[in-house]
A = this chain, B = another copy of it.
Amino acid sequence: MKLNAHYDNLKESYLFATVANKTAVYTKEHPDKKIIRMGIGDVTRPLPYAVVEAGVKAARELGDAATFRGYGPYEGYEFLRQAIADYYGARGVKLGLDEIFVSEGAKSDVGGILDIFDKDNTVLLPDPVYPVYVDSNVMDGRKIVFTHGDRENGFLPLPDEKVECDLIYLCSPNNPTGAVYDKAGLKTWVNYANKIGAVILFDAAYEFFISDPDLPHSIYEIEGADTCAIEMCSLSKTAGFTGTRCGYMIIPKKLGKCNAMWLRRQSTKFNGVSYVVQRMAEAVFSAQGVAECAENVAYYKRNTAVMAETFSKLGMWFTGGVNSPYIWLSCGGDSWKFFDKLLSEANVVGTPGAGFGACGEGYFRLTGFGKYEDTVEAMARIAKIL
């Protein structure tokens, strides 16, 4: 029996595991210190009332023979796919229900979608990058090339015609940088992908944080995207579903065989999302659900506003924060050293930019997902030591 040798090419430790370990060691040595965690992108606000009540009702339905449900459709219940189609429709994006696939989270989709592509494709990733894009391709042994984000391009790189690629990852609003492509930027990518016959894997997990009305929430707001792009989205950040687990993927019919291949993949390696969770997800898209989600997002954005104000006062360059829960901060040097400094001197945990790739060195990611009071305190502590 031979194991998948590509796993040997993975870096030893997952970024957030290292952050967690360093934090655990510090906490053990300093049990009296109050650590404020602004590292991992996990939400803290409770689920919307509408979502909880939908979950309670669905669980009770499963306990009654008259309303019990067994296996659901591989691609998700129509009630949820219709709710997602309506959500897109409100922004002028028309989707067929057979172009929407419900999943138990964008991370599973990001990993899973690679199944339908040959190992022989070259993958273009942004640097800095969400490590999952890298690792899932390393596991398959695909060749990876990078586009470079920096201060000059505002961490929003555009295509470089000299670099050959088959699969292109874009994440906007971006994790980790919080930068958001405008329509012109995305249009450049769509044109490029269509021209070279590449597929864009577009991660829209943070779309709900966009407040600027001119910025695109979906790549399908760009003409031509339906012949070159697959979009993945998650309710983790929209509705606090990090522990509830639901997302969806859109594969346009115009994208050739991909749609049918993914359905075949899901019918073989997946059995649908929990009925209870799908009812909870449906409630996210109700009028009450959307309003409650918007309230939670406003709460997080009050945090990023405090953070932005602090770093502006300190004269530190950053991007993100406005249409995103992340602030991407220039820390002026070794980002793991900055991590250690913030942890030991301010007892604040962030994520070192170097963990997101070579271009992340010199930068630091902080999230607005914490409690407001904690965020205010963390900024006061940081202002004191910097």
Contact of A45 among B56, B68, B117, B270 (CB under 8 A): B68
- What residue in chain B is nearest A60 (Cβ atoms)? B52
A156 within 8 A of B: no
A317 within 8 A of B: no
A162 within 8 A of B: no
- What residue in chain B is nearest A17 (Cβ atoms)? B267
A90 within 8 A of B: no
| Copies assembled | 2
Known contacts: A258-B3, A272-B245, A276-B244. The answer to whether A65 contacts B46 by CB under 8 A is: yes
A383 within 8 A of B: no
Task: Say whether A70 contacts B42, CB under 8 Å.
Answer: yes
Q: Compute how far the CA of A41 lies from the CA of B286 in the bound complex, rounded to whole angstroms.
A: 34
Task: Say whether B59 contacts A280, CB under 8 Å.
Answer: yes
A197 within 8 A of B: yes
Most B-side CB within 10 Å, residue of A2, A270, A276: A276
- Chain A residues 97 to 119 lying within 8 A of chain B, measured CB to CB, are 104-105, 107-108, 110-112, 115-118
Task: Say whether B44 contacts A68, CB under 8 Å.
Answer: yes
Q: Compute how far the CA of A52 lies from the CA of B108 in the bound complex, rounded to whole angstroms.
A: 26
A40 within 8 A of B: yes
Count, chain A residues at interface, CB 8 A? 77
- Chain A residues 239 to 259 lying within 8 A of chain B, measured CB to CB, are 240, 242-245, 257-258
A333 within 8 A of B: no
Task: Say whether B243 contacts A117, CB under 8 Å.
Answer: no
Known contacts: A105-B271, A118-B5, A136-B269. The answer to whether A43 contacts B59 by CB under 8 A is: no
Q: Compute how far the CA of A267 lies from the CA of B69 in the bound complex, rounded to whole angstroms.
A: 30
Task: Say whether B2 contacts A117, CB under 8 Å.
Answer: yes
List of B residues within 8 angstroms of A270 by Cβ: 105, 107-108, 111
Q: Compute how far the CA of A18 lies from the CA of B258 in the bound complex, rounded to whole angstroms.
A: 22
Contact of A71 among B7, B62, B242 (CB under 8 A): B242
Task: Say whether B63 contacts A59, CB under 8 Å.
Answer: no
A378 within 8 A of B: no
Task: Say whether A116 contacts B42, CB under 8 Å.
Answer: no
Q: Compute how far the CA of A56 lies from the CA of B244 in the bound complex, rounded to whole angstroms.
A: 13
Q: Compute how far the CA of A176 lies from the CA of B152 in the bound complex, rounded to whole angstroms.
A: 61
Interfacial residues, chain A to chain B (CB-CB below 8 A): 1-5, 7, 10, 14, 17, 40, 42-49, 51-52, 55-56, 59-60, 62-65, 68-72, 104-105, 107-108, 110-112, 115-118, 120-121, 132, 135-136, 139, 166-167, 197-199, 240, 242-245, 257-258, 261, 264-265, 267-277, 280
19 pairs, CB–CB < 8 Å, chain A vs chain B: A1-B121, A2-B120, A3-B116, A3-B258, A14-B264, A46-B68, A55-B59, A59-B59, A62-B243, A68-B243, A69-B243, A71-B242, A112-B269, A136-B269, A245-B272, A274-B274, A276-B276, A276-B277, A276-B280
